[in-house]
Structure 1
């Protein structure tokens, strides 16, 4: 029994396994643990990935795709041997290959999977990643998380990070750059402010700079090569690999020699670390500026930082640590596994609670690890018209851009062909809501408030603060009808049931179950949940039809992981309504009618003292 964390990188893909409270890097390749993020279509229409695709691509570059993570969301197809593919399709093939390789080595399929993605991806790109998961035909529950959160979780397992400590993540990978600021909470990490990123910035750009340096040194010899000659194509590809190796070697050496073996010239080109740093310094200055913007958005002064985590293979360049440390005046933590930290953190996220998982039940962030109590504010990625409906859309607040949304999300299991989906499609979901009104009460009175649905037999009854006596499970007769998750509710094709919620450190953690009936839930164009302030009365469709006019509407979501609402969003709503309720809505935000009439597809939770 094990859990699997996957880092689908632009240039390399890594994976890690969590078993029995320990994580280790999964060996995906024969020469290194990480494999190239490369897909190749052979003449017989079979697909190769990783090292084998990279080797064959030296002589068949027109059949190979690399760096397609950068193309996610681009409607222009990627041609492999003349056949069109989308970036998400290629990502799904790579996912299939990684999971299959790990399963073969481990002697069985993982029980749960966590896949990371850049923090600055908005709803559209995360939707496409979820579609890649669906196309990969993954039967296990899949959770998505952001790369900075995964990196912070791994760091917290290596070094002591006290609650309320603030860390910044500087993630410079092969193709993208991410900067995020996170605060350690008793339940994990919460992203502060707006993560910043540069989508086309990473190691492959530095590789191109080195290749250009060599080309200039050769005085036009590269331009003389016949682009249709297989020997010339292979020689140029090998030269690019030499340039990559030289760039990586300069992280520890002060100078390197690049061998040039082309049909029209055989020589060597010397490159020093100073020359490489001069090439990349302007680009690195842009990353420092992005990190500064992330700090300003989080309203965090550099002096407040516990540390700055440097992750991603390109962060190993000595110049990176020098620039970050000089700019912020704070210690930098250079990970011993910069290429694997995100995969290792992803494995921790989904694997910490793996011993409590019973297949085929779903894995959610709350079920697996407290460190997944995270939030980010994704940017808005405009989706092209006519784009395919994704299997799940990410959570969206009612008042962007100030709102924050989930960074971790679980993808529903596919429906069975002959009926509703298996139990794995029923999720018990934690929600983090920044309850400003309740936080004031917490600070003033030193007591904790919570919300609970009393029909959960495993939860203790509500007691007054200071009551230390034993508690008893409430009977259904003591629970108001609107708070019960009744059989009538679960007779609906789609339903949601709130189960419990507790205010902790000014945040409201809510758990619930949801049934999607095997569909593809989506706030934008599918069924989703309306979570709103209520008074126990089943709402009318007219009152809940739109997300701008509905009084007391808190959140619309199809997520299965924590999310945090800003104080501005909930101020007045929690205070004005005695209960929080949930209902299922359709793509037009109309409430879905219940089987027996009305719109009772969910229940409510009262605000009570515990």
Structure 2
């Protein structure tokens, strides 16, 4: 699922898009509405209320309500936006980044409530006028509010344009122009279709102008018709209750969109301000100087359209584009250029919601692409190596070096004369082999004289026997080696042949792995997990299973991520240096089977088998979001092995019997 949050000056919106072929975006609802006020209220305890709860609290002390957060991001000033602090007249202060983070967190909560799980991607929209300092606020706030969520930024007019590039109402345009007038900012853009069907941004500009400025102009019109005493009272009210006065002005402005005249009315118990008539003609005359630069920018955008763009559409978006004077001026330009004007797409998506609705359509969904890698008739087990794999047979001491496509690159004999090879473990630079008869040997892919071989291992170099000790499972990481004896004891040492350290204190071990953070050893058995210090064997912490039968375990050693796969369930943990366990996420995922952890775009990615129709799935290791289903998977056939390629981003191998497939996570 892909999600988008449009952090607006007056209201914030969010949309989600399931990653199905026929899915369409849908707006997220907050307490029944498709938006919530972009406002926070600072309570005496320092907590922040957001949205409608913030407005409800504002009656206690209006000066502790912060309703112009976005304007503080793009306002000029000597202090960088990320360092700004909002100061309320009630004595409170809120760092600007924290205020934005509170709004994003509230929106993200609505996304999670509206979907089946966390999003695989999250798009945050911003005005085209925002440069690096302003976008830094959005990034910093996202990192504070959503530390594990993969976030990307997108300009609002580009998001709006993408809302209509595939919409039925737009037909099949060659160019899409956007006139986006919101509460605080104006953006215009033009997207043109390239010969290969992609969309390029040919023009994108913005300026600080919007509906809030219209409200200020309406108040100016009102002041001009008031007596001096009432004008002074209005000035006082704007200082004491800025949000309440602004809401009264907005209500009058919106009524003028329907009627030729209305009343500006603000209720006060102390000294009543008289209701004041306001006329549409007067407001439109005041708007014209603000509107003219916006219309000129639209003309520039249209001039950027390719000469051969035969079919073009113009999209009106942003709540302020519904003001009659604005709409009439834009339609006049559109008529002069022969453009079709759109202000709604899909099932009545309103102009104010087009940015969120269109943003989710810009992110390309992940795909888990399957290709046939090779057939290894005698293989009972494979081990991933840079550029290939090692295939081993239970009837021979030989292991085969296999390259892409299953091409055999050579073989090597491991173990002593009386031993049959049983177990392998590797990291990028070192391979350990072991037999149940007691031979543990060290190898490395390739050799000093080989030179570059396009990343494909062509031979193994033997470095000697490490220990004579039976082993039924192995682990290796950065020169530290571990194995499990037939009796279930976990043992560690280093390639320097340091003394053996036994990781005791528990029932027989079933598996072990090393975690880079703080140099820890992880051992699992039928009753749970144990975390050890591999230098002296001390037990640092335990975690009992709440699953039956015992689950499967996979790790991302670099991140210290521990993934647990049990029947109908997948979860991730991370042990802290203190030994405590941080539970990152826990999702329901039907089925049970092998699991492995790889990496894609710098993030951990989990591959596991499910009973979903597509079988194998990829899951974001940081959030638990399902990223993609494998093409061509059979849920009835549980793979024997899943492996992450150690040298290729988003690359995996899966073995089912003698068949080996390659899976690649793409976006």
The TM-score, its normalising length taken from structure 1, stands at: 0.55
Taking the TM superposition and a 5 Å limit, the aligned residue runs for 1:96-495 are 96-104=105-113, 106=115, 108-159=117-168, 165-185=174-194, 188-193=198-203, 195-198=204-207, 200-225=208-233, 233=240, 237-262=243-268, 263-296=270-303, 298=304, 300=306, 306-328=312-334, 329=337, 330-335=339-344, 336-350=349-363, 353=365, 356=367, 473=405, 481=452, 484=455
| Contact 2:42/2:94, CA 8 A, preserved across alignment | no
1:257 is displaced (CA, Å) by: 2.4
| Contact 1:251/1:317, CA 8 A, preserved across alignment | yes
| Contact 1:14/1:28, CA 8 A, preserved across alignment | no
1:176 is displaced (CA, Å) by: 0.6
Structure 2: how far apart are the matches of 1:134 and 1:473? 41
Unaligned runs of at least 5 residues, structure 2: 74-79, 370-385, 390-403, 410-450, 459-476, 479-515, 517-555, 560-600, 604-646, 650-667
Structure 2: how far apart are the matches of 1:485 and 1:152? 45
Structure 1: how far apart are the matches of 2:222 and 2:408? 76
Unaligned runs of at least 5 residues, structure 1: 359-453, 458-471, 494-514, 519-557, 561-600, 604-610
1:222 is displaced (CA, Å) by: 4.8
Partner of 1:16: 15
Taking the TM superposition and a 5 Å limit, the aligned residue runs for 1:592-607 are none
Structure with the higher fraction of residues in strand conformation = 2
Assess, with a 3 A threshold, how the Cα gap between structure 1 residues 325 and 482 changes in structure 2: closer, same or farther. Answer: farther
Partner of 1:46: 47
The TM-score, its normalising length taken from structure 2, stands at: 0.50
Structure 2: how far apart are the matches of 1:27 and 1:181? 30
Partner of 1:497: none
| Contact 1:29/1:51, CA 8 A, preserved across alignment | no
Partner of 1:386: none
**How many residues are matched?**
385
Assess, with a 3 A threshold, how the Cα gap between structure 1 residues 107 and 306 changes in structure 2: closer, same or farther. Answer: closer
**2:29 corresponds to 1:27:** yes
Structure 2: how far apart are the matches of 1:261 and 1:486? 80
1:43 is displaced (CA, Å) by: 0.5
1:344 is displaced (CA, Å) by: 1.0
| Contact 1:455/1:476, CA 8 A, preserved across alignment | no
The two structures, once aligned, show a CA RMSD in angstroms of: 4.3
Assess, with a 3 A threshold, how the Cα gap between structure 1 residues 246 and 222 changes in structure 2: closer, same or farther. Answer: same
**2:91 corresponds to 1:90:** no
Partner of 1:79: 87
Structure 2: how far apart are the matches of 1:77 and 1:269? 36
Partner of 2:628: none
1:28 is displaced (CA, Å) by: 1.7
Cα distance per residue 1:37-68 (max 9 Å; x no partner):
11111001111011121232344233222222
| Contact 2:123/2:151, CA 8 A, preserved across alignment | yes
| Contact 1:196/1:293, CA 8 A, preserved across alignment | no
Of structures 1 and 2, the one scoring higher in RCO (CA 8 A, sep 6+) is 1
Structure 1: how far apart are the matches of 2:64 and 2:150? 32
Structure 2: how far apart are the matches of 1:87 and 1:117? 16
Structure 2: how far apart are the matches of 1:302 and 1:291? 19
Structure 2: how far apart are the matches of 1:9 and 1:122? 17
Structure 1: how far apart are the matches of 2:179 and 2:237? 42
Structure 2: how far apart are the matches of 1:180 and 1:226? 39
Assess, with a 3 A threshold, how the Cα gap between structure 1 residues 91 and 76 changes in structure 2: closer, same or farther. Answer: closer
